[in-house]
Amino acid sequence: MTEFAQEEDDENSILDLRKDLFGLEKEIKGYELQTMLGEKDDKRNAIVAINAGAGGTEAQDWVEMLFRLYLKWAESRKMKTKILDHLAGDEAGIKNITFTVSGPYAYGYLKSEHGIHRMVRISPFDANGRRHTSFASVSILPEIEDDIKIDINERDLRVETFRASGPGGQHVNKTSSAVRITHLPTNIVAQCQNEKSQHRNRELALKILKARIYALEKERQNREKQLRHQSQKEIAWGNQIRSYIFNPYQLVKDHRTNLEVGDIERVMNGDIDIFIDAYLKWLQN
């Protein structure tokens, strides 16, 4: 078609074909990525938990920035997100947040994000304008559906209710609708407070708990292959999977694949497919 357009000297058709070619290249790249997502959990929705580490208020702001990054990424792929649990920072940002990302292969793509993320920048919270280093941990779990049975004995659960700490009006403030569930044999904890119904919060907290127990069991079965489920180390120096440097220069570097990207604004706006692609290829090798 390009040859025909060139023979006719049809510039409009050539421009249209270039657009079509760009879209086709993007579509093929998407299919190439999916060929690397062969594990049975890759097609599932994802549960994402982000927790502030070393760095105080700066680290809590970093959690909010990462949360925005993943929301932007999900939006670009037309995936849905839903907040399950949220704890605001003392002065700014978010201490920890748990949310779901629902869409084709959400877990398969996002598993590349599991680990410690490090940020270096001049802190807007420092009156002296000093450079700060902050850390946040990102945990990615497959959302367990009914096709996988996780047997949990009710006697092994400690269920606690409390008042939700976030916004929500009179209902949230006057009733203990938030739910925290502890699995006593493993000491795994899951909580949910964003639904108005205590019953719904309990249902979602149990879903998170099952996903975490499932991930723990997978780690035990195949520790070497399931790198993403290894126990996370202290959220601090030396353990990061990726660094985001805003100052004195701009760079995002993945320490597993050694991939470096200089356009940090683009990455913070959710464009992380290049890191996902590199990670999946790294896993295969």
The share of the chain scoring above pLDDT 90, in percent, equals 50
Q: What is the mean pLDDT of residues 82-107?
A: 93
What's the one-letter identity of residue 171?
H
CATH class of 154-221: alpha beta
Distances (CA, A) of 193 to 92, 113, 117, 136, 182: 20, 25, 26, 22, 15
Helix axes 11-35, 273-284, angle to 10 degrees: 40
Please tell me the distance from the alpha carbon of residue 234 to that of residue 137, in angstroms, as a whole number: 9
Is 118 buried (19+), middle (13-18) or exposed (0-12) by CB count in 10 A?
Answer: buried
Q: Strand, helix or coil at 92?
A: coil
Q: What is the pLDDT of residue 257?
A: 96
CA 97 to chain centre: 10
What integer pLDDT is reported at residue 48 of this predicted model?
97
- Report how far residue 128's alpha carbon sits from residue 120's, in angstroms, rounded to the nearest whole number: 16
Tokens 């919270």 label which residue? 125
* pLDDT tens for each residue of 171-180: 444 578 899 9
Which of 25-29, 66-70, 134-138, 270-274 has the weakest average pLDDT? 25-29
Give the CATH number of domain 46-148+227-284.
3.30.70.1660
Mean pLDDT of 220-227: 56
User: Cβ-count burial of 222 within 10 angstroms (0-12 exposed, 13-18 middle, 19+ buried)?
Assistant: exposed
Please give the pLDDT value at position 129. Answer: 81
Mean pLDDT over 267-276 rounds to 96
Taking the C-alpha atoms of residue 33 and residue 214, their distance in angstroms, rounded to an integer, is 25
The residues near 41 (Cβ < 8 Å, ≥ 6 apart) are 107, 108, 142
71 within 8 A of 82, measured Cβ to Cβ: no
Q: Which residues pair with 80 in a beta bridge?
A: 102
Q: What is the pLDDT of residue 147?
A: 58
pLDDT over 90 at 228, yes or no: no
Q: How confident is residue 65, by pLDDT bands cut at 50, 70 and 90?
A: very high
Name the more confident of 224 and 279. Answer: 279
Verify cis geometry, omega within 30 degrees of 0, for the bond prior to 142. Answer: no
Query: How high is the pLDDT of residue 169?
Result: 46
Q: How many Å apart are CA 244 and CA 252, to the nearest integer?
A: 5
Phi, psi of 110 (to 5 degrees): -80, -10
Confidence of residue 224 (pLDDT cuts 50, 70, 90): very low
Give how far Cα 60 sits from Cα of 18, 87, 215, 216, Å: 44, 10, 26, 27
Nearest to 231 by CA among 116, 153, 144: 116
Q: What pLDDT sits at residue 102?
A: 97
* Pairing of the two strands 46-52 and 80-88: unpaired
The pTM for the full model equals 0.73
Bridge partners (DSSP) listed for residue 135: 118
Residue-wise pLDDT for 18-63, tens only, equals 888 988 988 888 788 778 888 889 999 999 999 999 778 999 999 9
Report for 160-174, 187-201, 209-223: range of highest mean pLDDT: 187-201
Whether pLDDT at 219 is above 80: no
190 SS3 class: strand
Mean pLDDT for the chain overall: 86
The domain segmentation of the chain, as residue ranges, is 2-35, 46-148+227-284, 154-221
Could you report the per-residue pLDDT of 143-189, keeping only the tens digit for each? 987 656 777 888 999 999 988 775 544 444 457 889 999 999 899 99
- Residue 34, CA distances (Å) to 23, 54, 63 in order: 17, 35, 28
